[in-house]
Amino acid sequence: MSTTTPPAKPTVRDLYDAMSYGPAPEGDAPVREWIARHHGRFGHYINGAWVTGSEHVEVLEPATGKPLAAMAQGTAADVDAAVAAARAALPAWQALDDHARARWLYAIARGVQKHARAFSVLETLDNGKPIRETRDIDIPLVARHFYHHAGWAQLLSSEFPGYHAYGVVGQVIPWNFPLLMLAWKVAPALAAGNTVVLKPAEYTPLTAIRFAELLHDIGLPKGVFNLVTGDGSTGAALVQHEDVDKIAFTGSTEVGRAIRVATAGTGKGLSLELGGKSPFIVFEDADLDSVVEGVVDAIWFNQGQVCCAGSRLLVQEGVADALYAKLRERMERLRVGSPLDKSVDMGAIVAPVQLDRIRQLCQQGIDEGASCWQPTWAQPTDGWFHPPTLFTNVAPSATIAQVEIFGPVLVSMTFRTPEEAVALANNTPFGLAASVWSENINLALDIAPKLRCGVVWVNSTNLFDASVGFGGYRESGFGREGGREGMWEYLKPARAHEAAPLPVIDATLPGAPDAREDAPDMPAIDRTAKMFIGGKQARPDSGYSMTVRALDGRVVGEVGEGSRKDIRNAVEAAHAASGWAKMSGHQRAQILYYLAENLSARSEEFAARIVSMTGDEIGAGHSEVDATISRLFTYAAWADKHDGAVHDVPLRGVALAMHEPIGVVGVACPDPYPLLGLVSLIAPLIATGNRVVAIPSVRFPLSGTDLYSVLETSDVPAGVINIVTGPRESLVSTLSQHDDVDAVWYFGTQAGAVTVEKASAANLKRTWTEWTGREWLDPRVGEGREFLRKAVQVKNIWIPYGE
């Protein structure tokens, strides 16, 4: 008789704890059959037809490392053909009424929905991201963008009066969200009436090719959408093409800089959505279990290959150890494997070169003294996979804390106070997104505006919608995608298509007249106008002055010749005046009204000065002064009225679109209308909370220097407005190169615009350059919302609510 005790029956809890996921692969046969029908080789889509490329390049499947298909390598000739097709299609596409274009975008949205599963599987095969993400996030958002922009197409004339499509738009998209990035760019471009030439990423062209097939099937007019595949050389040919009117690029900061330089002075529109190193800030009162799931979505979503990934975990010191323990436990349960398996959390890295970069940066983090932790389980050996990784004990200056890794790597630092959290969060050159986690909504909304980034998620992360603008500050680029903000990126004022009326001023000054025979017995008392820096008049560092002559050659005064050091001092003074941005719009309005009041009291004096320089009739001088006073009233009126918006988003919550000042803005003023031109540019900037370093008219600077005494008596805080006289081109070059200048407005020559835009690439500051001139007396082109939009950057703050 056996005495062996029978094993105890497992309890429900035992069975639950032991339960493991079995494979749940998504069927990929229909998609692979589609590839096979094309013999695995795909060409370009140009002018409504498929064009076989002269060369083809293999496209590999990240999960297996095996060839998936072959794409055509685009040449300069292919780009020429695509741009020519887009140009030829432009008149008819723009001639359609709003409703007709809306119908086309609606048809695209419906087509994406009908083929959603095929797009999802193809995206997963091509990119390596899990099918759950492509099926449940990417493709639904693609359809959402085309639906949303069908609405903007319908409302174009009523909501954007006086604006016009750019024309032919070149678009270059990345490999991390291939079809979604296509939708972000193509939908608003078509809705605005542009035609498109798209260059997808060389690693992931297949969903763009399938999208082109969809457009062909629904009958989109020939040439409205064109697709040229290839590597970086193809993209460069598109960017440099003389017949492209605007470039929209998403990708690395390094390439963004190169594009900024390549397009400098061409007049092309440019929007850049670049890299990031987004902070994920956790305060000690946060729900740590929710935080853990937020971290999973922030950094291990799409294997961390997300420009706005929450790759820097900033956690308050008191809860750091508890959070790290929970994170490690959760990381042990993450599943990495075939992206077609619906039960995996992470798929494959897109390409071997990207995997090598991730590994190298991880090793560098270890070499620099950080502690690295990875789960104990093994990952697939076929394909390109990397485990979720957590670094602790990371110094803020460490390479892995500053450089975008673009992989499933989380670096963590601790802080003690909210002020320290903000300092750490802003301690990179990027400014794309951030997450703030706290049960104290007052704290969260206090922190959000202090973060120098374009998107902030409160108690959430990686939320996107077509109604909400997305884009960055600083070296994360400029421009927005989505919502009304995104539509503005594909429109420009209709007047830009017409010759601009402006007084023509001969660039060559006449020589000085002969000395007067009836010279006075005693010389006049000399008065050389100084600089205006930090609220005080200051002598130029150079020690030199410049003679100011009227158009007939008469000497009417002298001004200081500004130098690099004067610009440096002015920028420092502007930064010291940061409290201006914290003042209410009402307070700023009162100061602008006061400026107008004090200028009005001296209108005769300012009109006479204008006439003495320009030689105009006194009536012209009075007209300019009166228009200047009116312009100050305009921006005083707008100071407390240029509001943001509350976006309707598909969650229990809101997205607040806040208008924020850009910061310190350099302004190079035009020569015509020396007083009005200066005030027309600085008034919208200070009305919206910016601080200004202005270079007044070079030909007629005395109106700017006379303004000093008005500023001194009008309660304008020191450093808010700084004026440096001197040679415009050299001074604006210094401003454009200055890393502490956030934007430059330049109204001068085309050669000067080239200098400004090339120099701005160093820190990717925003620029606004014009060389065709404006009729500044005309309020339709000399003031208004166009200036206000240029003077602010939009921050979207997502705030979920409810239990």
Closest CA to 89 of 160, 187, 165: 165
Query: Under DSSP, is residue 298 helix (H, G, I), strand (E, B) or coil?
Result: helix
Closest CA to 541 of 292, 390, 726, 709: 726
CB of 213 closer than 8 Å to CB of 241:
no
β-strands 433-437, 409-415 pairing: unpaired
Identify the helix (H) or strand (E) that includes residue 389.
strand 389-392
Cβ atoms of 128 and 203 closer than 8 Å: no
Instruction: Kindly list the strands in the beta sheet with 225-227, ordered across the sheet, starting from the edge strand earlier in the chain.
Output: 49-51, 44-46, 225-227, 195-199, 168-172, 246-250, 269-273, 477-478
Active site residue 273: yes
Among 720, 721, 726, 718, residue whose Cα is nearest residue 697:
726
In angstroms, the CA 338 to CA 130 distance is 8
Cβ-contact 191, 101 below 8 angstroms: yes
Residues 527 and 557: beta-carbon distance below 8 Å: yes
Length of the chain, in residues: 803
Q: Quick count: other Cβ atoms within 10 Å of Cβ 438?
A: 23
Task: Please name the amino acid found at residue 686.
Answer: I
Q: Are 313 and 292 in contact (CB under 8 A)?
A: no
Q: Which two tokens stand for residue 446?
A: 């206090």
Which of these is catalytic: 61, 273, 404, 561? 273
- Rounded CA gap, 710 and 597, in Å? 10
26 classed as catalytic: no
**Which of 307, 308, 362, 453 is labelled catalytic?**
307
The CA distance from 676 to 683, in Å, is 10
Cβ within 8 Å of residue 493, ≥6 positions away: 162, 163, 164, 781, 786
Classify 89 as helix, strand or coil. Answer: helix
Residue type, 650: P
Tell me how far apart the alpha carbons of residues 262 and 271 are, in angstroms, rounded to a whole number: 13
Q: Could you list the active site residues?
A: 273, 307
